[in-house]
Amino acid sequence: MRRDWLPILILWVSAFAVIAFLLALIIYIAIKGIPILSLKFLFTFPRGIEARGGIFPTIMATFYTTILAGIFVTPVAVGGAVFLTEYAEEGWLIRIIRFGADILASVPSIVFGLFGLALFVYAFGLGYSMLAGGLTLSLMILPIVMRATEEAIMAIPQSYREASYGLGATKWQTIKNVVLPTASPRIVTGIILGIGRAFGETAALIFTAGMAINFPYFPSDPGRTMTCHLYLLATEGISTDIAFGTAFLLLIFILAFNLLARRFGEFSGGRR
Amino acid sequence: MKNAFEVRNLNFWYGNFKALENITLDIQANRITAFIGPSGCGKSTFLRCLNRMNDIIEGSKLEGEVYLFGDNIYGNSVDVAELRRRVGMIFQQPNPFPMSIYDNVAYGPRIHGVKNKDELDEIVKRSLERAALWKEVKDKLNQSALSLSGGQQQRLCFARLLAVDPEVILMDEPCSAIDPTSTQKIEDLMYELKESYTIIIVTHNMQQAARVSDFTAFMLAEENKSATIIEYGSTESIFTNPKDKRTENYITGRFG
């Protein structure tokens, strides 16, 4: 074994590099960002040309667009997944839809932004708005949530379905009362992961939710999300301390989403 | 004696593979009929033809007729869900839903439109009593069904089935995954249930077939042939005086 020390060292370094980069990133952002965090930062509006002060409306716009995206994506993703796994017969239709979902998943988000601009902002006349942003985000995370839901449904043992059929349940009753409830923890995990992805999205929102600094009350209101705020501060080179504070807050939220998703995942894996 | 099932010239395919060949037999109501035979002899496949459970397997095909109390269950106007309510099934592996004990038993009645809480409570209690499980679970109806032992889970599956008031109960090796004490309880249960239900059991265990059944069908898939029924008659005659050499070889343990 002693002769193998070199490859083992290289493998060890590669593996360690992953966690090292993550730690370096978090620590760097934290050192720069933590001093900025305060209640005032969280709950006041940006002031003046250099956007000093807080980022309250951007936090609200971020949650607004993300929650809307979650609301829009869930029925479509779950419906599509149920159709693909339970109703569609294995064949060209399924292959095309799955292939389409995979392509959709790899489309750059800026392209979604452009599409959202053309369709929701202009064609539907929604203007820069929470609604247009939420819709664009929902399209973007649709493949993620749909695939997660499909896998959750396919993991349900056939024996549950047979038990239900054996009691005289129809297919739809079986799906509604057995398959979806049993798969729901994993479906929720998929939705949270999708929402986490939407939460950190920038490019798809610049042209759809807009850049206006205002508190978004209605779905028709525009608003600047945290990521867009960060993007603007960084490109303009103003108030970099505020940018780091925003970045740190984003990281915390994303981390929370991941932990939440993991918790639900464990809940579904753990058989009582 | 009334027939529950009359099967006529039944042939069955999985894709291009012909699994069952020309099966014709009558199954008496309010009796226990056992299907025995070595692994892969088509017993379970045949059983699943009786409540159209094979319909959910893609590429399966059936020819022939199966009459349930006179009606062809493969006819055009048959409501398959209703058929499966009338002809319920107990599976090899206990398969309670990952819900509470109560919700498992109430599942069927709820599906069929019972909403009244008192009525549901009554059905759940009565069904659990009939399945000889009530005493063990009456204080923990809201616990997960998966917390029960394997034998209890199987009796819960009986209770769940009885709650939809079937006419026939199909059992696909119901005792192969549970311990001997639980097996005994389930056999006792079968004796009681045959008063009101027609029971058809697939079993690997010849002693069990001899113990519990009134009629026995011996099935066999000979080399390069599809499975079919070799011999069918009263359990006593099959086990004490088999007419076919192959039946005799099987029940005396020469193969299988």
Range B175-178 contact pairs with CB under 8 angstroms and sequence separation of 24 or more: B175/B203, B175/B205, B175/B208, B176/B92, B176/B203, B176/B204, B176/B205, B177/B92, B177/B93, B177/B94, B177/B150, B178/B94, B178/B150, B178/B151, B178/B154
What's the sign of the alpha-carbon dihedral A145, A148, A152, A154? positive
- Cα separations (Å) of B32 from A33, B1, B48, B192, B213? 76, 13, 17, 11, 5
Strand ordering across the sheet containing B3-14: B17-28, B3-14, B60-68, B71-72
**A269: pLDDT strictly greater than 50:** no
Closest residue in A to B94 (Cα–Cα):
A159
CA atoms within 13 A on the CB side of B100: 11
Tell me whether residue B128 is in a domain.
Answer: yes
In a domain, residue B154? The reply is yes
Residues of A in contact with B98 (CB under 8 A): 160, 182, 271
Answer whether residue B105 is part of any domain.
yes
Please tell me the predicted confidence (pLDDT) of residue A53: 85
What's the domain count of chain B? Answer: 1
pLDDT confidence of residue B256: 59
Asked if B6 and B67 count as a contact pair (C-beta separation under 8 A), the reply is yes
CA distance A133 to chain B (A): 39
Mean pLDDT of chain A: 91
CB contact under 8 A, A168 and B157: no
| pLDDT one-digit tens code per residue, A40-61 | 999 999 888 778 888 999 999 9
Write the DSSP string, A68-93. HHHHHHHHHHHHHHHIIIIISPTTHH
Is residue A272 pLDDT above 80, yes or no?
Answer: no
Q: How far is CA A95 from CA A152, A190, A241, in A?
A: 19, 21, 49
Residues A217, A135: Cα–Cα separation, whole Å: 17
Instruction: Give A250-259 contacts, CB < 8 A, sequence gap 24+.
Output: A250/A199, A250/A200, A250/A226, A251/A26, A251/A29, A253/A199, A254/A196, A254/A199, A254/A200, A257/A192, A257/A193, A257/A195, A257/A196, A257/A199, A258/A193, A258/A196
Q: Is B53 on the interface with A (CB under 8 A)?
A: yes
Using 70 as the pLDDT threshold, list the residues of chain B that sit under it.
256
To test the contact with chain A by mutation, choose from B107, B124, B146, B170 the residue with the greatest count of A C-beta atoms within 10 A, namely B107
Tokens 């009338």 belong to which residue?
Answer: B86
Taking the C-alpha atoms of residue B36 and residue B129, their distance in angstroms, rounded to an integer, is 30
**Domains of chain A with CATH codes:** 37-269 (1.10.3720.10)
Interface size, chain A vs chain B, as Cβ–Cβ contacts under 8 Å: 75
Give tens-digit pLDDT for A84-119: 999 988 788 888 988 998 899 999 999 999 999 999
- Interface check A155 vs B, CB under 8 A: no
Sort strands B60-68 and B71-72 into parallel, antiparallel or unpaired.
Answer: antiparallel
Query: Is B193 among the domain residues?
Result: yes
Does B135 reside within a domain?
yes
How remote is the C-alpha of A72 from its chain's centroid?
13
Q: Report the CATH number that the domain containing residue B154 is assigned in CATH.
A: 3.40.50.300
Which of B82, B98, B107 minimises the CB distance to A182?
Answer: B98
Task: State pLDDT tens for residues B229-250.
Answer: 999 999 999 999 999 999 999 9
Contact B58 A159 (CB under 8 A): no
Structure tokens belonging to residue A171: 């297919």
Per-residue pLDDT of B115-139, as tens digits, reads 999 999 999 999 999 999 999 999 9
Q: Is the CB of A168 less than 8 angstroms away from the CB of B98?
A: no
Predicted ipTM of the assembly: 0.91
Q: Write down the pLDDT at residue B156.
A: 97
Residue B256 counted as domain residue: no
Q: Answer yes or no: is B103 within a domain.
A: yes
Distance in angstroms (rounded) separating the CA atoms of residues B171 and B90: 5
Q: Do the Cβ atoms of A167 and B53 come within 8 Å? A: no
A1 confidence band (pLDDT: 50, 70, 90): low
Closest CA to A73 of A203, A191, A193: A191
- Give A215-263 pLDDT, tens digit per residue: 999 999 999 999 999 999 999 888 889 999 999 999 999 999 889 888 8
Local structure of A136: helix, strand or coil: helix
Distance from the A251 Cα atom to the nearest Cα atom in chain B, whole angstroms? 36
Pick the closest to residue B238 from B225, B226, B250, B227 (CA basis). B250
- Domain extent, residue B122, equals 3-251
CB B161 within 8 Å of CB B89 = yes
Within 10 Å of residue B251's Cβ, how many Cβ atoms?
A: 20
